Amino acid sequence: MAVVAAVLAVGLWTLTSCQAFVLHGAPGPLTAQLGASVLLPCAADSPLPLEELEVEWRRADSGALLHLFQEGEERPESQNEAYRGRAHFVTEGFATGNYSLLLTDVNLEDVGMYMCKVYTEMDSSTVTAEIMHIERLTVAGGAVVSSYVGDEAILNCSVDSHIHPDQLEVNWRKKGQQQITVLSVKHGQIDPNSTQKDYRDRVDLFDAEITKGNFSMRLKNIRPGDQGEYICEIHSHHLSVETTTELRGLANL
């Protein structure tokens, strides 16, 4: 009897251990770009039977449901409104035990902790993923500006970013067959050698506004040849944005 009991115990342990699994998540906090996508990792050490698998992703703070996999299929109807259409399983990875979630169109409210919970009939496990930083670099300005020959015009370009303005590189260029560099800014200062000769002593920025992310350019003593489109380009490492302002309707005073 003791031998039989031992055999049964070993068999039960083997069955249970086959159903047990370990989840692996992100090795550390994640950084995402505003408006881009970020992958929230969640993977088992071995594939799990899909017919008995349930996977749910939730916000750890509010409990809001990002996405649910249940009874062999995704349940998009169960998603919280804030994540509907933005949270997607990497479904091709389910067969290999990959239950990661792709969060698209990232916004500032996505900063926080997330939980991946995986259930089978015999076991369950949880891992977390934290979005700690949202990188952002957006620019506003582009418009049509009218002025008079001999007068001045302000071409707007304002930046919103987690990056300090001193760390941004800004280039004002005039569009044409060959783009002309009108003005460049590095480390919060205008590069005096960057300005094309036709614009020297006619362009400047509002120095007191640079630390606020305002790189609007003032063009003085306007000439007929100044008419056209001007691009404000903002660069920082792997991020870049731009806006275009059109100067037109030049007439003599």
User: How many structural domains comprise the chain?
Assistant: 2
Any idea what the CATH number is for the domain that residue 48 is in? 2.60.40.10
Same domain for 79 and 184?
A: no
Is 108 in the same domain as 190?
A: no
The reply to whether 179 and 223 lie within a common domain is: yes
Q: What is the pLDDT of residue 197?
A: 86
Considering the domain architecture, whether residues 42 and 130 belong to the same structural domain is answered as yes
Written as one letter, the residue type at 193 is N
Q: Are residues 127 and 188 in the same domain?
A: no
| Together in a domain, 217 and 113 | no
Low-confidence stretches of the chain (pLDDT < 70) are 1-19, 250-253
Report if residue 17 sits inside a domain.
no
pLDDT score at 253:
54
Contacts of 7 by beta carbon, 8 Å cutoff, 6+ apart: none
Residues 191 and 179 in one domain: yes
Whole-angstrom distance, CA of residue 106 vs CA of residue 234: 21
Q: Which domain holds residue 242?
A: 137-252
What confidence score (pLDDT) does residue 93 get?
A: 82
Report the pLDDT value the prediction gives residue 18, as an integer from 0 to 100.
44
Distance CA 99, CA 89 (A): 7
Q: Is residue 215 part of a domain?
A: yes
- At 161 the pLDDT is 92
Q: Is residue 182 part of a domain?
A: yes
Determine the pLDDT at residue 187. Answer: 86
153 and 168 in a single domain? The answer is: yes
Q: What single string gives the DSSP state of each residue in the chain?
A: -HHHHHHHHHHHHHHHHHH---EE--SS-EEEETTS-EEE--EESS---GGG-EEEEEETTT--EEEEEETTEE-GGGS-TTTTTTEEE-GGGGGGTB--EEE-S--GGG-EEEEEEEE-SS-EEEEEEEEEEEE-EEEE---EEEEEETS-EEE--EEEESS-GGG-EEEEEE-SSS-EEEEEEETTEE-TTSS-GGGTTTEEE-HHHHTTTB--EEE-S--GGG-EEEEEEEEETTEEEEEEEEEEEEEE-
